[in-house]
Chain A
Amino acid sequence: MSAAPDSPAPRFAAGAQVRVKDDWPETRGPCHIRTPYYVRGRLGRVVRPLGAFPNPEDLAFARPAPRRQLYHVLFEQPPIWNEGKAGDTVMVEIFEHWLEEA
């Protein structure tokens, strides 16, 4: 485990509308990602910042892993799949570098 300093204060506050980056590093070569494919490019709402954790995308390759802010992001379920029941939701833990203001 590296002794990387904590990342700065969270960029997003509870209630912020965010979009998950529509990024597919899988197409560029070996990688490790904790952002599920089904929320890439999707709109969600920050429920709460969870604190900073070593970035698993680096940990997986035993690289120095700077801490990154992690968030609970809530998504409405039906828009993701074009099916499902209004009001049903999915909550995902997503690191800050995967989120954009929306």
Chain B
Amino acid sequence: MAAPPSGASLALLDKLIAALSTKGLVSEAEITERQAITDRASPEIGARMVARAWTDPDYYALLMRDGKAAAEAMGASMAGAPELGVLENTPSQHHLVVCTLCSCYPRALLGYPPGWYKSFAYRSRAVREPRAVLAEFGLHIDEKTRIRVHDSTADMRYLVLPMRPVGTEGWSEEQLAGIVTRNAMIGTGIATA
């Protein structure tokens, strides 16, 4: 679990910002703008994308073809963001996302990563014993379903497209978005009606 920022680390941050400002590499305005973009982002954006993909075949096709364009179509700010890979869960394959090297995460769509996503335990265990990790999240993957873990190490970020649960026929897009949890879009959960 990431520790909360200490006084020392905040002082170091101030010095770093001052040094970068002096060199003309970053401005207060740019930092404020970037913070605002990140603060605006929340799993709600990803959930709306999933709900639309469940109900609109054209949007589903766009999402699978060009994740970034699909995110922008829902109002997400993707300028300068890495490519977005969309991982579609099926009855035969369940996807799980981890960044073993650091904490790469689709912040533009899901907001800040949860503490456990950045923890050493999750990062080291998800690639080695994904079924045990998922069981600890309360998710028991059928033996017949293969698991594919995606180690987000470089220039892509990933969004899991969970399966639409049975019993949601006729639901509105808004109702559907309400059952798409953050964990379902990381792969440590599923959507349930």
Contact = CB atoms under 8 A, between A and B. Distances in A.
B127 A38 contact: yes
Contacts of B146: 87-89
Interface in A77-102: 77, 80-81, 83-85, 87-95
Contacts of A95: 154
Interface stretch (B11-19, B67-75, B128-136, B172-180): B128-136
B62 to A, nearest CB: 19
Interface residues of B, number: 20
Interface residues of A, number: 23
Contacts, number: 66
Chain A CB within 10 Å, residue with most, of B83, B101, B127:
B127
A81 B148 contact: no
A70 interface: yes
A63 interface: no
Contacts of A93: 151-156
A38 B153 CA distance: 13
Contacts of B101: 34, 36
27 contacts: A35-B153, A36-B127, A36-B151, A38-B100, A38-B128, A50-B83, A50-B155, A80-B128, A81-B128, A81-B129, A85-B143, A85-B147, A87-B146, A88-B147, A88-B148, A89-B147, A89-B148, A89-B149, A90-B127, A91-B149, A91-B150, A92-B151, A92-B153, A93-B151, A93-B153, A94-B153, A94-B154
